[in-house]
Chain A
Amino acid sequence: MTAGATPSQTLGPFFTDALVDPGLARATASPDAEAEPMRLEGRVLDADGSGVDDALVELWRADPDHPDVTGDGHGWARSATDAEGGYRFWLPRPRPLPHPSAREQAPHVVVLVLARGILDVLLTRAYPVEEPTVPDDPVLRRVPAERRGTLLAVRDGEVDDVPRYRFDVRLQGPGETVFFAL
Protein backbone atom coordinates (compact mmCIF):
# COMPACT_ATOMS: atom_id res chain seq x y z
CA MET A 1 0.00 0.00 0.00
CA THR A 2 1.21 3.47 -0.78
CA ALA A 3 1.10 6.76 1.06
CA GLY A 4 -2.18 8.62 1.08
CA ALA A 5 -3.20 10.86 -1.77
CA THR A 6 -1.81 14.36 -2.01
CA PRO A 7 -4.46 16.94 -1.04
CA SER A 8 -5.43 19.77 -3.37
CA GLN A 9 -5.07 23.51 -2.79
CA THR A 10 -6.36 26.58 -4.56
CA LEU A 11 -4.80 27.83 -7.78
CA GLY A 12 -4.56 31.27 -6.14
CA PRO A 13 -4.68 34.57 -8.04
CA PHE A 14 -1.12 34.69 -9.35
CA PHE A 15 -1.04 31.91 -11.93
CA THR A 16 -1.59 33.85 -15.14
CA ASP A 17 1.80 34.03 -16.75
CA ALA A 18 2.74 30.60 -15.53
CA LEU A 19 -0.16 28.71 -17.02
CA VAL A 20 -1.76 30.75 -19.75
CA ASP A 21 -0.77 31.19 -23.33
CA PRO A 22 -3.35 32.28 -25.92
CA GLY A 23 -2.37 29.37 -28.15
CA LEU A 24 -3.54 26.94 -25.48
CA ALA A 25 -7.22 27.89 -26.00
CA ARG A 26 -7.25 25.79 -29.16
CA ALA A 27 -7.76 22.05 -28.86
CA THR A 28 -6.60 19.83 -31.70
CA ALA A 29 -7.67 16.41 -32.88
CA SER A 30 -5.44 13.49 -33.71
CA PRO A 31 -4.52 13.59 -37.40
CA ASP A 32 -6.68 10.62 -38.30
CA ALA A 33 -9.83 12.08 -36.75
CA GLU A 34 -12.49 14.10 -38.50
CA ALA A 35 -12.13 17.62 -37.24
CA GLU A 36 -15.14 19.81 -37.88
CA PRO A 37 -14.42 22.89 -35.74
CA MET A 38 -16.62 24.54 -33.13
CA ARG A 39 -16.27 27.23 -30.51
CA LEU A 40 -17.19 26.83 -26.86
CA GLU A 41 -17.59 30.09 -24.96
CA GLY A 42 -19.10 31.28 -21.75
CA ARG A 43 -18.60 33.00 -18.45
CA VAL A 44 -17.68 31.76 -14.99
CA LEU A 45 -20.06 33.37 -12.46
CA ASP A 46 -19.95 33.49 -8.66
CA ALA A 47 -22.80 33.43 -6.11
CA ASP A 48 -23.74 37.02 -6.92
CA GLY A 49 -23.76 36.44 -10.67
CA SER A 50 -20.54 38.42 -11.02
CA GLY A 51 -18.00 37.28 -13.55
CA VAL A 52 -15.01 35.50 -12.01
CA ASP A 53 -12.13 37.33 -13.64
CA ASP A 54 -9.30 35.18 -12.27
CA ALA A 55 -10.44 31.66 -13.14
CA LEU A 56 -8.72 29.05 -15.26
CA VAL A 57 -10.93 26.84 -17.43
CA GLU A 58 -9.65 23.65 -19.05
CA LEU A 59 -11.33 21.42 -21.59
CA TRP A 60 -10.88 17.72 -22.26
CA ARG A 61 -12.35 16.05 -25.33
CA ALA A 62 -11.95 12.30 -25.12
CA ASP A 63 -11.22 10.50 -28.38
CA PRO A 64 -13.03 7.18 -28.92
CA ASP A 65 -10.19 6.04 -31.19
CA HIS A 66 -7.56 6.68 -28.50
CA PRO A 67 -9.27 5.65 -25.26
CA ASP A 68 -6.25 5.71 -22.97
CA VAL A 69 -4.11 8.81 -23.28
CA THR A 70 -4.06 11.05 -26.29
CA GLY A 71 -0.69 12.09 -27.65
CA ASP A 72 0.79 15.49 -28.34
CA GLY A 73 -1.78 17.50 -26.46
CA HIS A 74 -4.75 16.53 -28.64
CA GLY A 75 -8.17 17.20 -27.19
CA TRP A 76 -7.03 19.56 -24.46
CA ALA A 77 -7.25 23.32 -24.13
CA ARG A 78 -6.90 25.98 -21.45
CA SER A 79 -8.24 29.52 -21.13
CA ALA A 80 -7.97 32.14 -18.40
CA THR A 81 -11.10 34.20 -17.87
CA ASP A 82 -11.16 37.86 -18.91
CA ALA A 83 -12.41 40.90 -16.94
CA GLU A 84 -16.03 39.76 -17.41
CA GLY A 85 -15.34 36.16 -16.43
CA GLY A 86 -15.41 35.08 -20.07
CA TYR A 87 -13.49 32.20 -21.61
CA ARG A 88 -13.42 30.81 -25.16
CA PHE A 89 -12.18 27.63 -26.79
CA TRP A 90 -11.78 26.31 -30.31
CA LEU A 91 -12.08 22.55 -30.62
CA PRO A 92 -12.96 19.71 -32.95
CA ARG A 93 -16.62 18.87 -32.44
CA PRO A 94 -16.87 16.01 -29.91
CA ARG A 95 -18.18 12.63 -31.04
CA PRO A 96 -20.45 10.11 -29.33
CA LEU A 97 -18.54 8.02 -26.81
CA PRO A 98 -18.95 4.52 -25.43
CA HIS A 99 -20.31 3.96 -21.92
CA PRO A 100 -19.93 0.93 -19.62
CA SER A 101 -23.69 0.37 -19.77
CA ALA A 102 -23.35 -0.25 -23.53
CA ARG A 103 -25.49 2.83 -24.12
CA GLU A 104 -23.71 5.52 -26.08
CA GLN A 105 -22.86 8.84 -24.44
CA ALA A 106 -24.02 11.96 -26.24
CA PRO A 107 -21.17 14.18 -27.55
CA HIS A 108 -19.70 16.22 -24.70
CA VAL A 109 -16.46 17.59 -23.32
CA VAL A 110 -15.18 17.58 -19.74
CA VAL A 111 -14.75 21.10 -18.33
CA LEU A 112 -12.48 21.82 -15.35
CA VAL A 113 -12.74 25.07 -13.40
CA LEU A 114 -10.05 26.39 -11.07
CA ALA A 115 -9.69 29.75 -9.33
CA ARG A 116 -8.77 31.58 -6.19
CA GLY A 117 -11.27 30.34 -3.61
CA ILE A 118 -11.73 26.92 -5.27
CA LEU A 119 -9.91 24.36 -3.14
CA ASP A 120 -10.11 21.42 -5.57
CA VAL A 121 -10.60 21.27 -9.33
CA LEU A 122 -14.31 21.51 -10.16
CA LEU A 123 -15.32 18.98 -12.79
CA THR A 124 -18.35 19.29 -15.04
CA ARG A 125 -19.43 18.47 -18.61
CA ALA A 126 -20.63 20.57 -21.53
CA TYR A 127 -22.98 18.94 -24.08
CA PRO A 128 -23.16 21.01 -27.28
CA VAL A 129 -26.73 21.04 -28.60
CA GLU A 130 -28.52 22.93 -31.38
CA GLU A 131 -31.63 23.57 -29.27
CA PRO A 132 -31.99 23.63 -25.46
CA THR A 133 -33.19 20.03 -25.40
CA VAL A 134 -31.55 17.51 -23.09
CA PRO A 135 -30.04 14.67 -25.16
CA ASP A 136 -30.44 11.02 -24.23
CA ASP A 137 -27.30 10.25 -22.28
CA PRO A 138 -26.54 7.79 -19.47
CA VAL A 139 -24.71 10.38 -17.37
CA LEU A 140 -27.35 13.07 -17.78
CA ARG A 141 -29.94 10.55 -16.64
CA ARG A 142 -28.15 10.41 -13.26
CA VAL A 143 -28.54 14.17 -12.85
CA PRO A 144 -31.75 15.51 -11.25
CA ALA A 145 -34.03 16.40 -14.18
CA GLU A 146 -34.41 20.04 -13.17
CA ARG A 147 -30.62 20.54 -13.20
CA ARG A 148 -29.73 18.82 -16.50
CA GLY A 149 -30.08 22.05 -18.42
CA THR A 150 -27.02 23.48 -16.67
CA LEU A 151 -24.87 21.02 -18.65
CA LEU A 152 -26.08 22.09 -22.09
CA ALA A 153 -23.89 24.26 -24.32
CA VAL A 154 -26.56 25.72 -26.57
CA ARG A 155 -25.85 26.87 -30.12
CA ASP A 156 -25.39 30.64 -30.35
CA GLY A 157 -24.88 31.48 -34.01
CA GLU A 158 -21.42 31.35 -35.46
CA VAL A 159 -18.24 33.36 -35.57
CA ASP A 160 -16.11 33.38 -38.73
CA ASP A 161 -18.21 30.50 -40.08
CA VAL A 162 -17.48 28.40 -37.00
CA PRO A 163 -20.54 27.33 -34.94
CA ARG A 164 -20.51 28.79 -31.46
CA TYR A 165 -21.94 27.10 -28.36
CA ARG A 166 -22.44 28.92 -25.07
CA PHE A 167 -21.70 27.31 -21.71
CA ASP A 168 -21.81 29.44 -18.58
CA VAL A 169 -20.51 27.99 -15.32
CA ARG A 170 -22.42 29.17 -12.24
CA LEU A 171 -20.38 28.27 -9.18
CA GLN A 172 -23.22 28.89 -6.73
CA GLY A 173 -26.74 30.27 -6.51
CA PRO A 174 -29.74 30.06 -8.88
CA GLY A 175 -28.98 27.75 -11.77
CA GLU A 176 -25.84 26.42 -10.10
CA THR A 177 -23.97 24.25 -12.57
CA VAL A 178 -23.90 20.52 -11.87
CA PHE A 179 -20.46 19.45 -10.71
CA PHE A 180 -19.45 15.82 -10.50
CA ALA A 181 -17.88 13.82 -7.67
CA LEU A 182 -15.40 11.11 -8.57
Chain B
Amino acid sequence: MNRPSGRRDPATFPPYLHPPYASTVARSPREELVALEATISERSGPRLSGRLPEDADLTRNAGTAGEAIGERIIVTGRVVDAAGTPVPHTLVEVWQANAAGRYIHQRDDHAAPLDPNFVGIGRCHTDADGVYRFTTIRPGAYPWRNHPNAWRPAHIHLSVFGPTIASRLVTQMYFPGDPLHALDPILSAVPAGARQRLVARYDHDVTVPEWALGYRFDVVLAGPGATPPDPGTTP
Protein backbone atom coordinates (compact mmCIF):
# COMPACT_ATOMS: atom_id res chain seq x y z
CA MET B 1 0.00 0.00 0.00
CA ASN B 2 1.54 3.29 -1.04
CA ARG B 3 1.44 6.59 0.83
CA PRO B 4 -0.43 8.25 2.34
CA SER B 5 -1.75 5.12 4.00
CA GLY B 6 -1.23 4.03 7.57
CA ARG B 7 0.37 0.79 8.65
CA ARG B 8 -2.89 -1.04 9.31
CA ASP B 9 -6.25 -1.56 7.58
CA PRO B 10 -6.96 1.72 5.71
CA ALA B 11 -10.72 1.19 6.15
CA THR B 12 -10.25 1.54 9.93
CA PHE B 13 -7.02 3.39 10.70
CA PRO B 14 -6.18 6.98 9.79
CA PRO B 15 -3.40 7.66 7.27
CA TYR B 16 -0.17 9.09 8.66
CA LEU B 17 -0.48 12.14 6.42
CA HIS B 18 -3.72 14.05 7.01
CA PRO B 19 -3.05 17.70 6.09
CA PRO B 20 -6.13 19.16 7.86
CA TYR B 21 -4.33 18.07 11.04
CA ALA B 22 -1.30 20.29 10.51
CA SER B 23 1.11 18.44 12.78
CA THR B 24 1.02 15.40 10.49
CA VAL B 25 2.69 17.23 7.61
CA ALA B 26 6.28 17.14 8.91
CA ARG B 27 5.85 14.01 11.02
CA SER B 28 4.41 11.48 8.58
CA PRO B 29 6.61 8.99 6.72
CA ARG B 30 6.55 9.43 2.94
CA GLU B 31 8.37 6.26 1.95
CA GLU B 32 6.38 3.09 1.57
CA LEU B 33 6.04 1.10 4.75
CA VAL B 34 7.68 -2.33 4.53
CA ALA B 35 5.28 -5.24 4.95
CA LEU B 36 6.45 -7.43 7.80
CA GLU B 37 5.42 -10.98 8.57
CA ALA B 38 4.96 -11.06 12.34
CA THR B 39 7.76 -12.92 14.11
CA ILE B 40 8.33 -13.61 17.79
CA SER B 41 9.22 -9.92 18.17
CA GLU B 42 5.77 -8.80 17.04
CA ARG B 43 3.83 -11.76 18.47
CA SER B 44 4.93 -11.17 22.04
CA GLY B 45 4.56 -8.23 24.36
CA PRO B 46 4.98 -7.03 27.92
CA ARG B 47 2.72 -7.76 30.85
CA LEU B 48 2.87 -4.67 33.01
CA SER B 49 0.56 -5.41 35.92
CA GLY B 50 3.49 -5.79 38.29
CA ARG B 51 5.24 -2.66 37.12
CA LEU B 52 2.47 -0.05 36.86
CA PRO B 53 -0.07 -0.37 39.66
CA GLU B 54 -3.76 0.33 39.30
CA ASP B 55 -4.93 3.91 39.91
CA ALA B 56 -8.39 4.05 38.41
CA ASP B 57 -10.30 6.77 40.29
CA LEU B 58 -9.36 10.11 38.73
CA THR B 59 -11.77 12.00 40.97
CA ARG B 60 -9.62 11.26 44.04
CA ASN B 61 -6.06 10.56 42.94
CA ALA B 62 -4.56 14.09 43.03
CA GLY B 63 -2.90 13.51 46.38
CA THR B 64 -5.19 15.97 48.09
CA ALA B 65 -8.04 15.18 50.39
CA GLY B 66 -10.42 16.78 47.93
CA GLU B 67 -12.51 15.55 45.07
CA ALA B 68 -12.36 16.74 41.45
CA ILE B 69 -14.99 19.19 40.25
CA GLY B 70 -17.14 18.14 37.33
CA GLU B 71 -19.83 15.76 36.21
CA ARG B 72 -18.77 12.42 37.71
CA ILE B 73 -18.77 9.59 35.18
CA ILE B 74 -17.81 5.93 34.93
CA VAL B 75 -16.06 4.77 31.78
CA THR B 76 -15.95 1.03 31.27
CA GLY B 77 -15.62 -1.45 28.46
CA ARG B 78 -14.13 -4.69 27.32
CA VAL B 79 -10.80 -5.08 25.53
CA VAL B 80 -10.91 -7.88 22.95
CA ASP B 81 -8.47 -9.02 20.28
CA ALA B 82 -9.15 -9.21 16.56
CA ALA B 83 -10.90 -12.58 17.03
CA GLY B 84 -13.19 -11.20 19.73
CA THR B 85 -11.38 -12.95 22.57
CA PRO B 86 -11.20 -10.91 25.78
CA VAL B 87 -7.72 -9.66 26.65
CA PRO B 88 -7.24 -10.16 30.40
CA HIS B 89 -4.76 -8.36 32.65
CA THR B 90 -3.62 -5.82 30.09
CA LEU B 91 -2.70 -2.24 30.93
CA VAL B 92 -5.08 0.60 30.04
CA GLU B 93 -3.77 4.13 30.68
CA VAL B 94 -5.93 7.27 30.40
CA TRP B 95 -5.29 10.99 30.50
CA GLN B 96 -7.65 13.89 29.96
CA ALA B 97 -8.38 17.60 30.47
CA ASN B 98 -10.32 18.73 33.51
CA ALA B 99 -13.98 19.79 33.46
CA ALA B 100 -12.95 23.25 32.22
CA GLY B 101 -10.92 21.86 29.32
CA ARG B 102 -7.48 22.41 30.88
CA TYR B 103 -4.58 19.99 31.25
CA ILE B 104 -1.91 20.20 33.92
CA HIS B 105 0.90 20.63 31.41
CA GLN B 106 3.46 23.38 30.83
CA ARG B 107 2.34 23.72 27.20
CA ASP B 108 -1.35 24.15 27.98
CA ASP B 109 -1.94 27.89 28.37
CA HIS B 110 -5.68 27.79 27.71
CA ALA B 111 -7.27 30.51 29.88
CA ALA B 112 -9.35 28.07 31.90
CA PRO B 113 -8.94 27.20 35.56
CA LEU B 114 -6.93 24.30 36.91
CA ASP B 115 -8.58 22.08 39.49
CA PRO B 116 -6.24 21.40 42.42
CA ASN B 117 -8.03 18.11 43.02
CA PHE B 118 -7.68 16.77 39.48
CA VAL B 119 -4.53 15.61 37.69
CA GLY B 120 -6.30 13.82 34.84
CA ILE B 121 -4.23 10.64 34.93
CA GLY B 122 -5.33 7.05 35.54
CA ARG B 123 -4.30 3.44 35.02
CA CYS B 124 -6.07 0.15 35.29
CA HIS B 125 -5.64 -3.46 34.28
CA THR B 126 -8.37 -5.41 32.58
CA ASP B 127 -9.86 -8.19 34.68
CA ALA B 128 -10.10 -11.87 33.73
CA ASP B 129 -12.93 -11.02 31.29
CA GLY B 130 -11.04 -8.17 29.62
CA VAL B 131 -13.07 -5.48 31.39
CA TYR B 132 -11.57 -2.15 32.48
CA ARG B 133 -13.32 0.56 34.52
CA PHE B 134 -12.44 4.14 35.46
CA THR B 135 -14.19 6.71 37.61
CA THR B 136 -13.51 10.26 36.44
CA ILE B 137 -15.20 13.53 35.51
CA ARG B 138 -16.40 14.48 32.06
CA PRO B 139 -13.63 16.53 30.40
CA GLY B 140 -14.28 19.90 28.80
CA ALA B 141 -13.64 20.91 25.19
CA TYR B 142 -10.65 23.19 24.64
CA PRO B 143 -9.22 25.43 21.92
CA TRP B 144 -6.07 24.63 19.94
CA ARG B 145 -4.16 26.42 17.21
CA ASN B 146 -4.50 24.01 14.31
CA HIS B 147 -6.73 26.44 12.38
CA PRO B 148 -8.82 29.55 13.23
CA ASN B 149 -11.35 28.96 16.00
CA ALA B 150 -10.29 25.32 16.37
CA TRP B 151 -11.71 23.39 19.34
CA ARG B 152 -11.09 19.80 20.35
CA PRO B 153 -14.27 17.94 21.20
CA ALA B 154 -14.33 16.54 24.73
CA HIS B 155 -12.24 13.35 24.78
CA ILE B 156 -10.32 10.94 26.97
CA HIS B 157 -6.97 9.59 25.72
CA LEU B 158 -6.51 5.83 26.06
CA SER B 159 -3.36 3.74 25.72
CA VAL B 160 -3.89 -0.02 25.49
CA PHE B 161 -1.25 -2.76 25.21
CA GLY B 162 -3.13 -5.93 24.28
CA PRO B 163 -1.79 -9.40 23.60
CA THR B 164 1.22 -8.42 21.46
CA ILE B 165 3.36 -5.36 20.89
CA ALA B 166 1.89 -5.13 17.38
CA SER B 167 -1.60 -4.76 18.85
CA ARG B 168 -0.53 -1.65 20.79
CA LEU B 169 -3.22 1.03 20.45
CA VAL B 170 -3.29 4.69 21.43
CA THR B 171 -6.62 6.32 20.76
CA GLN B 172 -9.17 8.84 22.02
CA MET B 173 -12.70 8.26 23.29
CA TYR B 174 -15.32 10.89 22.46
CA PHE B 175 -18.77 11.57 23.94
CA PRO B 176 -22.06 11.06 22.07
CA GLY B 177 -23.91 14.00 20.59
CA ASP B 178 -21.01 16.45 20.49
CA PRO B 179 -21.41 19.03 17.67
CA LEU B 180 -17.61 19.44 17.52
CA HIS B 181 -17.06 15.93 16.13
CA ALA B 182 -17.67 16.96 12.52
CA LEU B 183 -15.31 19.93 12.89
CA ASP B 184 -12.37 18.03 14.39
CA PRO B 185 -9.55 17.14 11.98
CA ILE B 186 -8.14 14.50 14.35
CA LEU B 187 -11.36 12.49 14.64
CA SER B 188 -12.06 13.16 10.95
CA ALA B 189 -8.70 11.57 10.03
CA VAL B 190 -10.40 8.24 10.78
CA PRO B 191 -12.25 6.78 7.76
CA ALA B 192 -15.93 7.76 7.99
CA GLY B 193 -17.11 4.17 8.34
CA ALA B 194 -15.03 3.62 11.47
CA ARG B 195 -15.33 7.04 13.13
CA GLN B 196 -18.35 6.16 15.26
CA ARG B 197 -16.31 3.42 16.98
CA LEU B 198 -14.48 6.18 18.86
CA VAL B 199 -17.69 7.59 20.32
CA ALA B 200 -18.62 6.08 23.68
CA ARG B 201 -22.18 4.95 24.27
CA TYR B 202 -24.23 6.22 27.19
CA ASP B 203 -25.24 3.11 29.14
CA HIS B 204 -27.87 3.50 31.80
CA ASP B 205 -26.96 0.09 33.18
CA VAL B 206 -23.48 1.44 33.95
CA THR B 207 -24.87 4.56 35.58
CA VAL B 208 -24.76 4.27 39.38
CA PRO B 209 -27.88 5.75 41.02
CA GLU B 210 -27.25 8.89 43.06
CA TRP B 211 -23.58 8.79 42.03
CA ALA B 212 -22.30 8.83 38.42
CA LEU B 213 -23.33 8.58 34.76
CA GLY B 214 -22.08 5.57 32.85
CA TYR B 215 -20.39 5.35 29.46
CA ARG B 216 -19.35 2.20 27.64
CA PHE B 217 -16.33 2.15 25.34
CA ASP B 218 -15.27 -1.26 24.07
CA VAL B 219 -11.85 -1.65 22.46
CA VAL B 220 -11.22 -4.10 19.62
CA LEU B 221 -7.50 -4.55 18.98
CA ALA B 222 -6.15 -5.20 15.50
CA GLY B 223 -2.89 -6.97 14.83
CA PRO B 224 -1.53 -10.47 14.88
CA GLY B 225 -2.51 -12.79 17.67
CA ALA B 226 -0.17 -14.06 20.33
CA THR B 227 -0.06 -17.63 19.07
CA PRO B 228 3.13 -18.30 17.16
CA PRO B 229 2.55 -19.68 13.66
CA ASP B 230 3.35 -23.31 13.02
CA PRO B 231 6.72 -23.19 11.26
CA GLY B 232 5.75 -26.28 9.31
CA THR B 233 2.96 -24.45 7.47
CA THR B 234 4.86 -21.26 6.71
CA PRO B 235 6.06 -21.05 3.12
Interface of chain B, main secondary structure:
loop
Q: Please, which residues of chain A bring their CB within 8 A of the CB of B172?
A: 9-10, 12
B116 close to A (CB within 8 Å): no
Bound-complex Cα distance A105 to B38 (A): 12
Partner of A16, one of B83, B105, B189, B234: B105
**A62 CB contact (under 8 Å) in B25, B41, B224:** B41
CB distance from A45 to the nearest CB of B (A): 10
Flag whether B54 is at the interface (Cβ < 8 A): no
Residues of B with C-beta under 8 A to A67 = 40, 43-44, 228
Contact residue among B41, B198, B222, B231 (Cβ-Cβ distance under 8 Å from A102): B231
Interface SS of chain A: loop
Smallest beta-carbon distance A82→chain B, Å = 14
B165-216 residues at the A interface, CB under 8 angstroms: 165-166, 168-172, 186-187, 189-191, 194-195, 197-198
Total residue contacts A-B, CB cutoff 8 A: 268
Q: How large is the interface on A (under 10, 10 to 19, 20 to 34, 35 or more residues)?
A: 35 or more
Assess whether B151 is interfacial by the CB under 8 Å rule: no
> How many B residues, CB 8 Å from partner?
89
Is B34 in contact with A114, judged by CB distance below 8 angstroms? no
Contact with B along A8-31 (1 / 0, CB 8 A): 111111111111000010000000
Q: Which residues of B contact A (CB under 8 A)?
A: 1, 6-9, 12-16, 18, 21-31, 33-52, 80, 82-84, 93-95, 97, 103-105, 107-108, 119-121, 157, 159, 163, 165-166, 168-172, 186-187, 189-191, 194-195, 197-198, 218-224, 226, 228-229, 231, 234
Using a CB–CB distance below 8 Å, which chain A residues touch chain B?
1-19, 24, 46-48, 52, 54, 58, 60, 62-64, 66-76, 97-102, 105, 108-110, 112, 114-123, 125, 139, 142-144, 147, 171-173, 176-182
